[in-house]
Amino acid sequence: MNETLKQVTHIDNVRLGGDEKSVVIIDQTQLPNRTVYLTLRTPEEIYDAIKLLQVRGAPAIGICAAYGIYALARQWELWDYDAFAEKFHAQKEYLNTSRPTAVNLSWALNRMEGVVTANAGKPVAEVLDLLGGECRAIHQEDIAMCRAISEYGLRLIKDGDGVLTHCNAGPLATSRYGTALGPLFLGHEQGMKFRVFSDETRPLLQGARLTSYELQQAGIDVTLICDNMASIVMKNGWVQACFVGCDRVAANGDTANKIGTSGVAILAKHYGIPFYVLGPTSTIDLSCPDGDHIPIELRDPGEIRETWYIEPMALPEVKCYNPAFDVTDHTLISGIVTEKGICRAPYTESLAALFQSHR
Ligand code: MRU
């Protein structure tokens, strides 16, 4: 692997601080212009970093929350098990409310709490060590999952293909290769050439600020387009596949991802282009029957009116609707690429089978 590709795919987007009482993240809101690392020490700092998208992307927020709750627990000096477990639960619930849509957040926090409950009555010092192991395992597993997703995803495209992506599901949002961008990095590493179209992704521009930055840095041919240009790019015959990430996949395959994703899927269907969702099984929520049950985060209207503009682009009192995610109907999805393989319709069966084979 060449050095520049390694720099992009091995970026330390989230890690435990050296004292194990803090979490260190790259502040994604400052990219691509500045690479700034933040050290998060308090519950509020961790909550705000997730809420304000300083750390973002479904797997990355799960990893940050897991490291975060461990780092907080290390600070407490609470040696009575019951008091420790009670405080752990309260802090976990607090961090879990920072963002509602990506299930990886609650998945990772529940896994951490599972360690506390499974070791009831043990000395707290021992429980702390086990928690340290668990958050590291969550991170390491995500690295392996991203690699496997990249390998499966690469089977879906060939040298010279055009791929359209929306939002950012690369190394910054995950670990190492990323999910939706993983096959592109992996193929590039093997000498393949792709032409990638990156939707800018209004209103917070993850595609412009993060995806085009990651791909360009790695030396992959990327063209930045505004979201409303996806149709013409597809009509021109420049796109052979759409690859997107996911924040929560319901049991029937309905998939929540960054606002605008469902529009891309509808366009892809119109032009006969396969539309793939790539994500780890930690993003699949079998307890959620369909997309209507996925909570959709509503964000500050200021993100539409003011963020990124020198002057506000609308009068302050204008009414805004700012959902952060939408749900792509499972009928529009050609395949869901996980670390365990590619699921095809009917998703109710293929997704459930992933978990059965795991047992
Ligand atoms: O609001 P964001 O930037 O956290 O939204 C992120 C996305 O929608 C990603 O596509 C998704 O989390 C997958 S990241 C592998």
pLDDT digits (tens, 9 = 90+) for 69-125: 999 999 999 999 999 999 999 999 999 999 999 999 999 999 999 999 999 999 999
- Average pLDDT score over residue span 289-317: 96
Q: Which region, left, alpha or beta, applies to residue 88 given φ > 0 means left and ψ of -120 to 50 means alpha?
A: alpha
Centroid of ligand 1 to alpha carbon of 213 (angstroms): 16
* 3-class secondary-structure state, position 123: coil
Write down the pLDDT at residue 306: 95
Question: What phi, psi does 160 have (nearest 5°)?
Answer: 95, -5
pLDDT at 293 over 80: yes
Average pLDDT of the chain to the nearest whole number: 97
Position 358 pLDDT exceeds 60: no
What average pLDDT does the segment 341-353 reach?
98
Q: Which of 9, 27, 167 to mutate to test the pocket of ligand 1 (most atoms within 8 A of CB)?
A: 167
27 given a catalytic annotation: no
Q: Which atom of ligand 1 is nearest to the CA of 325?
A: 8
For residue 142, give both structure tokens. 């995500």
Atom 10 (ligand 1) nearest CA: 245
What's the rounded Cα separation, in Å, for the pair 303 and 244?
22
**pLDDT value for 7:** 83
Residue 231: predicted pLDDT: 98
Q: What is the pLDDT of residue 357?
A: 60
| pLDDT (tens digit per residue) in 14-58 | 999 999 999 999 999 999 999 999 999 999 999 999 999 999 999
What CA–CA distances, in Å, run from 45 to 24, 55, 64, 72, 100? 11, 11, 11, 11, 18
Ligand 1 centroid vs 77 CA: distance in angstroms? 35
Residue 223's pLDDT is what?
98
- Across the range 174-182, mean pLDDT stands at 95
Q: How many angstroms separate the CA atoms of 206 and 280, rounded?
A: 20
Instruction: Give me the sign of the Cα torsion angle 212, 216, 219, 221.
Output: positive
Residue 279 pLDDT greater than 60, yes or no = yes
Mean pLDDT for 264-284 is: 98
In the chain the first and final C-alpha atoms are separated, in Å, by 35
Rounded mean pLDDT, 311-321: 95
Calculate how far, in angstroms, residue 189's C-alpha sits from the geometric centre of ligand 1.
Answer: 24
Please provide residue 244's backbone torsions phi and psi, each rounded to the nearest 5 degrees.
-135, 160
Task: Measure 102 CA to ligand 1 centroid, in angstroms.
Answer: 8
Q: How many C-beta atoms lie closer than 10 Å to residue 191's C-beta?
A: 7
**Residues 6 or more apart in contact with residue 106 via CB below 8 angstroms:** 96
pLDDT at residue 359, rounded to an integer: 45
Residue 295 above 80 pLDDT? yes
Residue carrying structure tokens 């797997």:
59
Inter-CA distances, 190 with 146, 258, 317, Å: 17, 29, 52
Q: What is the C-alpha to C-alpha distance for residues 25 and 27, in angstroms, rounded to an integer?
A: 6
- pLDDT above 90 as % of the chain: 95
* Residue with CA nearest ligand 1 atom 6: 57
Contacts of residue 129, defined as CB under 8 A and 6 or more positions apart, other chains included, come to none
**Which of 110, 163, 147 is closest to 338 using CA atoms?**
147
Percent of the chain with pLDDT over 70: 99
The DSSP bridge pattern shows strands 241-244 and 275-278 to be parallel
* Mean pLDDT to the nearest integer, 189-206: 98
pLDDT at 280 over 80: yes
Cα of 63 to ligand 1 centre, how many Å?
14
pLDDT at 59 over 90: yes
Task: Decide: helix, strand or coil at residue 21.
Answer: coil
What is the distance between the alpha carbons of residues 330 and 178, in angstroms, rounded to a whole number?
Answer: 22
Sign of the CA dihedral running 44, 28, 176, 348: positive
d(CA 181, CA 197): 11
**Using an 8 Å Cβ cutoff, are 53 and 29 in contact?**
yes
Catalytic pick among 142, 227, 247, 254: 247
Q: Which residues line ligand 1 (CB under 6 A)?
A: 53, 56-59, 102, 167, 169, 173-174, 179, 206, 245-247, 257-258, 324
